[in-house]
Structure 1
Amino acid sequence: MIKVKVSLRPIVSNINLPTVLKTTILPGDSIESIIIATQLGEIFYIRNGVVGTFLDIRSRIIKLGANRGGYDERGLVGLAFHPEFNYNGLFYLHYSVAGTQGPGALSQSFTPNPCDPRTLSLKWINRENQYDHIDTVEEWALQPNSQPQKQRTLLNLRRPFFNHNGVNSLNFSPETGKLVLTTGDGGSGYDPFNLSQDNMEIAGKIIEIDVTYNALIDNPPVVTRFDEIPIPIQKMLTVIAKGVRNIPGISYQRYYNQYIKYVGNVGQDLVESIFSFIYYNPIPVTQLIQDSLQKFEPSQEGFINLGWRGWEGAFPTSIISGCSANPTLDEKTITYYNEAVKTSVLRLQPLTSYYHKDPRPDKFEGSALTGVQPYMGNEIPNLTGSVVFTDFVRSEESQPPARGVLAYTRIRTDCKLNDYSVIETDYNFGSQSSFYVSLGSNLDNTRLYLGVYGSTNVSDGNQGTVFEIIS
């Protein structure tokens, strides 16, 4: 693939960790404003080079980074503007709610053991007490006086662990006009309770929400499963996909009169993967519940399955341990063999993958996928029509300062797994670490924005910079 070089143009600096980067047209405007949401709960707009506060919900956000040395994956993780936001002022938030801290679903860290069936069939029990926190998905409206106000709560979700809540988890589909919610598998590692493959579990799914339907329920109950949701809200929901581990949102690329959908699945220990699809057959939640009651497996035709937890991208999920005879080598043991077999022909194959260990000189060793965006602009000609993605930090660079990485791939006409190429940048971060934490675009995917943070800890304040990626 062609080697591509780009420049990074700083847009705003000294902000908290930027989780969502988008543009929208504010009511009364005719031009797009850049919108930046931070994990701590701030939402900024940039219009004509001026930075302003759109909304500050820090008081609504759970206390972050208190118990893990500053690292956290909770907070404000989703923001989406209604396609008619310019007229109706509606937008949507996904965040972890203040005051909902729980003990977690397990008393100790989880590692599956293929020799111990008990570790392969754990159940999440006593959910009302054994959970980490509660996430909420809300509808807000920008009032005529430009003050946003909450309108209604769409979902209240109880989460088993602190991590894998998704990031950039709310996006509107230009194809259906519905709000798309992407949920991680609940956290820990290796999906201890196999929530991602269970049709009744909300965790580990890609869900469409019909926001035109008003369920007339002001404060829905806190739930973990679809069959716990009140029936009027069930009718708003369809499920696009399951088998999700953790996902940095969904993005869309117009292709003639269709849309190619892109999603990334963050890996466990081996590989990070990007998937693409055009056709899909979403299943109404009411149908999933009815099928479950009748112990009937719903049709898999056109229903997307990313394969987790049996598969990590193109590989059966594995446990890695050192080789005692050769410390430079690793032994890899298939973790969930039966599940890998069961889902082998049902899962979607990745568009591209990159690896945590890769001996090839022109590649990089990744750690966590943090964004996937198609690029349809002309300013960077060698990237036009490509799919750009970001990784949190190059794992092969063990010495500070840490560096994130940009890369790109393309759709192959033969639909086979494609390779990727690293995108070189000319920005000099000096001695400062630069973790690439988010990737975003404008409304027609002709501009790309990169969120960079100087620390792995959300509690380290004001170390964020948002760049535009330019030629």
Structure 2
Amino acid sequence: MDRRHFLRATGALAAGFAGCTASQSTGQPTADATPTETVSDLPEAIGLETLASGLRAPLDIAFAPDADRRYVAEQQGVVSVHEADGLRSEPLLDLRDQVTAGGEKGLLGIALHPDFATNRRLFVRYSSPPRQGTPDSYSHTFVLSEFQVSQDGRSVVDGSEQTVLEIPEPQGNHNAGAIVFGADGYLYIGVGDGGAGGDQGRGHVDDWYDRVGGGNGQDVQANLLGSILRIDVDGSDGDQPYAIPDDNPLVDGPGLDEYYAWGFRNPWRLAVDGQDLYAGDVGQNRFEEIDRVVAGGNYGWNVKEGTHCYGADNCPDSTPASVRGGEPLLDPVVEYPHSGAAVSGISVIVGNVYRASAIPGLDGQLVFGDYRTGGDLFVATPQSGDGLWPTAAIPIADGDAGKLSQLLSFGRHEGELYALGIGDGGGGVHRLVAPDG
């Protein structure tokens, strides 16, 4: 095949997110990886207003533009419908007979077309058993598909699935999963490095950096792994059911045209804020990072983990001149260690910039969290120029922390943020509110 073409137990997702214990990292996490300071006027706590509970593993959410309706993607392969009177008994979409779920595999992302109110186009990203063209030794197939939603917004049209993109996945982990439409109308797709640990092993090609073997993150010609892709789902190219934006950075040069940015390990969630694209890239076992993604950006993996060398005491800050002209390895805007700091954890879950007024002091802050919440959510204050952004931890309000012991994802609608995760009531969707509700 050419390039075109949960949880069994909740702990499984955490183990994969947190990376592999057999790591080539050197040294210990430091407490000052990210500037952590008291940012003025932040709320003392954040409350959680529960909208839906009793879910299994809610990993993504999309908001209908023409109704009081939300679509919640659950890892086992179901897209549930939540309306003003609660969850509907019948799902929008049930893919359990064609999704392989467990660990980091499953139904991982959904997105509504920007003109969904008129064209009813729904895009989903899921893990499939190996399809034709996936090598026999590989784990599964990455699938991006499109469905047509009924006019009432409560079901999909039978037989409407159209496969947009398939990618062979060598390992079961590092699948990323987020799909988001940008302000430009193009679809951005997070793709992990292929799994295992250190960007090495089965399905990992050799790259330019000899100090650490493997390197899908640093190779843009052999496959689409370790990247963020950008495609035009409103166009096509022969049998290819999408078009390539003319200004994608590798068009007419060496590399696969779908690439928008590369050097990622596991960009689990993506977020769009105006013209800005953010990726939360889950680290190996020392540092977590959030990147502000630009066209043609190389974000360093597996030469670097965050701002730090991976597998070596010293490492370059750019590729050799012979590799795409010596491009810089771009640093994240947020980094935090796995221990030893107020902002710490094991697997970053990027949220988005808060653009509402319900929580005084939060407007304009980048809100994020970690799979292992520890009773806190995090904020970073956007800065101009280079350097890491100041970060702070904000506790989840008393009485609400138990709702979100494991954070899986965020969503944003009309500037307000929604947290998806697992807690005392099972899987749930919660709106961030002021601590008094």
| TM-score normalised over the length of structure 1 | 0.70
Provide the residue aligned with 2:387 in structure 1.
Answer: 416
> Is 2:179 aligned against 1:170?
yes
| Superposition map of 1:54-203 within 5 A | 54-62=92-100, 64-65=101-102, 72-97=103-128, 99-100=129-130, 128-144=135-151, 147-149=155-157, 150-167=160-177, 169-174=178-183, 176-192=184-200, 193=204, 194-200=215-221, 201-203=223-225
CA deviation after TM superposition for structure 1 residue 454, in Å: 4.2
> Residues 132, 405 of structure 1: CA spacing in aligned structure 2 closer, same or farther, 3 A cutoff?
farther
CA deviation after TM superposition for structure 1 residue 94, in Å: 0.7
- Specify which of 327, 332, 342 is matched with residue 350 of structure 1: 332
- Specify which of 304, 307, 313 is matched with residue 306 of structure 2: 313
Provide the residue aligned with 2:428 in structure 1.
Answer: 465
Helix, strand or coil for the counterpart of 1:249?
A: strand
Aligned equivalents of 2:316, 2:99: Cα separation in 1: 37
> Residues 427, 438 of structure 1: CA spacing in aligned structure 2 closer, same or farther, 3 A cutoff?
farther
Helix, strand or coil for the counterpart of 2:260?
A: strand
CA deviation after TM superposition for structure 1 residue 15, in Å: 0.7
Helix, strand or coil for the counterpart of 2:46?
A: strand
- Specify which of 55, 59, 72 is matched with residue 15 of structure 1: 55
> Residues 49, 143 of structure 1: CA spacing in aligned structure 2 closer, same or farther, 3 A cutoff?
closer
CA deviation after TM superposition for structure 1 residue 354, in Å: 1.0
CA deviation after TM superposition for structure 1 residue 373, in Å: 1.1
Whichever residue aligns with residue 164 of structure 2, its letter is L
| Superposition map of 1:214-363 within 5 A | 214-215=236-237, 217=239, 238-254=258-274, 259-277=275-293, 280-281=294-295, 303-318=296-311, 334=313, 342=319, 346-358=328-340, 360=341, 363=342
Contact 1:316 1:340 in 2 (8 A): no
Whichever residue aligns with residue 173 of structure 1, its letter is G
Helix, strand or coil for the counterpart of 1:139?
A: strand
Aligned equivalents of 2:402, 2:152: Cα separation in 1: 45
CA deviation after TM superposition for structure 1 residue 49, in Å: 3.1
CA deviation after TM superposition for structure 1 residue 432, in Å: 8.2
Contact 1:210 1:237 in 2 (8 A): no
Provide the residue aligned with 2:231 in structure 1.
Answer: 209
Q: CA RMSD in A?
A: 2.9
Once the two structures are aligned, what percentage of the paired residues are identical? 24
Provide the residue aligned with 1:322 in structure 2.
Answer: none
> Residues 391, 219 of structure 1: CA spacing in aligned structure 2 closer, same or farther, 3 A cutoff?
same
> Residues 144, 21 of structure 1: CA spacing in aligned structure 2 closer, same or farther, 3 A cutoff?
closer
Provide the residue aligned with 1:441 in structure 2.
Answer: 412
Helix, strand or coil for the counterpart of 1:138?
A: strand
> Residues 145, 435 of structure 1: CA spacing in aligned structure 2 closer, same or farther, 3 A cutoff?
closer
CA deviation after TM superposition for structure 1 residue 449, in Å: 0.8
The gaps in structure 1 that reach 5 residues or longer are 66-71, 103-125, 221-235, 282-302, 319-332, 395-402, 456-461
CA deviation after TM superposition for structure 1 residue 248, in Å: 2.6
Helix, strand or coil for the counterpart of 1:162?
A: coil
Deviation track 1:90-113 (CA, whole Å, cap 9, x = no partner) reads 01011011x4399xxxxxxxxxxx
Helix, strand or coil for the counterpart of 2:118?
A: helix
> Is 2:364 aligned against 1:382?
no
Provide the residue aligned with 2:3 in structure 1.
Answer: none
> Residues 17, 433 of structure 1: CA spacing in aligned structure 2 closer, same or farther, 3 A cutoff?
same
> Residues 430, 346 of structure 1: CA spacing in aligned structure 2 closer, same or farther, 3 A cutoff?
closer
Helix, strand or coil for the counterpart of 2:104?
A: coil
> Residues 373, 426 of structure 1: CA spacing in aligned structure 2 closer, same or farther, 3 A cutoff?
same
Helix, strand or coil for the counterpart of 2:258?
A: strand
Contact 2:379 2:394 in 1 (8 A): yes
Helix, strand or coil for the counterpart of 1:382?
A: coil
Aligned equivalents of 2:86, 2:339: Cα separation in 1: 43
Contact 1:34 1:46 in 2 (8 A): yes
CA deviation after TM superposition for structure 1 residue 57, in Å: 1.4
Helix, strand or coil for the counterpart of 2:194?
A: coil
Whichever residue aligns with residue 104 of structure 2, its letter is E
Aligned equivalents of 1:87, 1:273: Cα separation in 2: 37
Give the structure with higher Rg (CA). Answer: 1
Whichever residue aligns with residue 390 of structure 2, its letter is D
Provide the residue aligned with 2:245 in structure 1.
Answer: none
Helix, strand or coil for the counterpart of 2:117?
A: helix
Aligned equivalents of 1:9, 1:433: Cα separation in 2: 11
| TM-score normalised over the length of structure 2 | 0.75
More helix by share: 1
